[in-house]
Structure 1
Amino acid sequence: RYPFVIMLALPFAAIGVILILFLSGTIFTVVVYIGLIMLAGIVVNNGIVMISYINILRERGLALSEAVRMGARRRLRPILMTTFTTVFALLPMALGLGAGAEMWAPMARTVIGGLLSSFIFTLILVPTLYTILAGKKARGK
């Protein structure tokens, strides 16, 4: 159930990818697909960070709603730090600064666009879906 919740954040990352590639006039190339693979790993990692902490809180005896609320609040900082350090590190490459950056700029743009859209959905969608699925499991459905 919970891997499904984590994987549902990936389509929302695609929204940011499509938007940034459209706005920057970047076409889909092999380098963009490499960026998509990188992005998928980061987005899944952010979801795992959130879900695993919520599971730890539930094992400690917290109620579902309290564990989700506290887990989302406490994992906000690590997810934001991961997102923004990656975005800021890739910014020079995305802008085409430095030797060979023109080749790798589409990859950087892909990761940046996907991260900026997915972190919002990770912080909102993952806890919401977790609550829905865990609630159904607790009710025995």
Structure 2
Amino acid sequence: MRSWNCASTWSAPNEPATVTRTSSTRPTAPVHPPGQIERLPIEFKSYVQPVLVLSIIPFGFIGAIAGHVLMQLPLTLFSIYGLIALSGIVVNDSIVLIDFINMRLRDGLPIQDAILDAGRRRFRPVILTSITTIAGVLPILLETQRQALVLIPMATSLAFGLMFATAIVLILAPTLVSMTNHFSREASGV
């Protein structure tokens, strides 16, 4: 943690100036994402499904790094900001898909029918989220002016990572849900 030293000077009329020093210790890293991760088990009423949601994030990172290699760009601080944004979008897409599968399972559908229905009904929201985000960063990605050079790695992380991760979300998330459902039924003897 970094210690912040603050000093203030004040004085009353006809008196010498008084300097007051205070120090404050504040965390310099964001504390919000761990709080969000802690809420996932509450939403899913399971400890396994949040792991499924978060397991898709590394695939987005693979796509982002492949994009940096393809564009011949170094990983910079702004690339990491892009990776953080990318992980949020990928988690959102996974939650949309897995939550709908769970809703269909609660309605009494068999696992395969629930997965197919979720794939049909949630394909458009997942794809449109990704396409609009990629379209939003595309002007930055294609910019050639010198001022935009700082932002191009961030746009590369987002665009390429999202292209790869969206395909993985649509394929891997339902597969993982099916596998965990199969293993939990096998473990319970049903």
Report the TM range for the smaller structure's normalisation.
over 0.9
Q: Which residue pairs with 2:101 in the alignment? A: 54
TM-score, length-normalised on structure 1?
A: 0.94
Q: Please state whether the residue corresponding to 2:104 is helix, strand or coil.
A: helix
Report which structure shows greater RCO (CA 8 Å, sep ≥6). Answer: 1
Aligned residue pairs, count = 141
Distance 2:144 2:116 in 1: 41
Distance 2:145 2:95 in 1: 34
TM-score, length-normalised on structure 2?
A: 0.71
Q: Which amino acid aligns with 1:121?
A: I
Q: Please state whether the residue corresponding to 1:62 is helix, strand or coil.
A: coil
> Which structure 1 residue ranges, 4+ long, deviate > 3 Å from structure 2?
97-100
Q: Which amino acid aligns with 1:68?
A: I
Higher Cα radius of gyration:
2
Distance 1:98 1:3 in 2: 42
- TM-superposed CA distance for 1:12, in Å, is 1.2
Q: Which residue pairs with 2:34 in the alignment? A: none
1:76 to 99, 119, 123: 123
List gaps (5 residues or longer) in structure 2: 1-47
List gaps (5 residues or longer) in structure 1: none
Q: Which amino acid aligns with 2:126?
A: I
Structure with the bigger percentage of strand: 2
Distance 1:59 1:20 in 2: 40
Q: Deviations over 1:6-32 (max 9, x none)?
A: 112112112211111001111111100
Distance 2:148 2:93 in 1: 27
Q: Deviations over 1:36-80 (max 9, x none)?
A: 000000000000000000111011111111101111121110000
Name the Cα RMSD after superposition.
Answer: 1.4
Percent identity (aligned): 34
CA distance 1:73–1:106, shift in 2 (3 Å): same
Distance 2:93 2:144 in 1: 28
Distance 1:50 1:97 in 2: 37
Structure with the bigger percentage of helix: 1
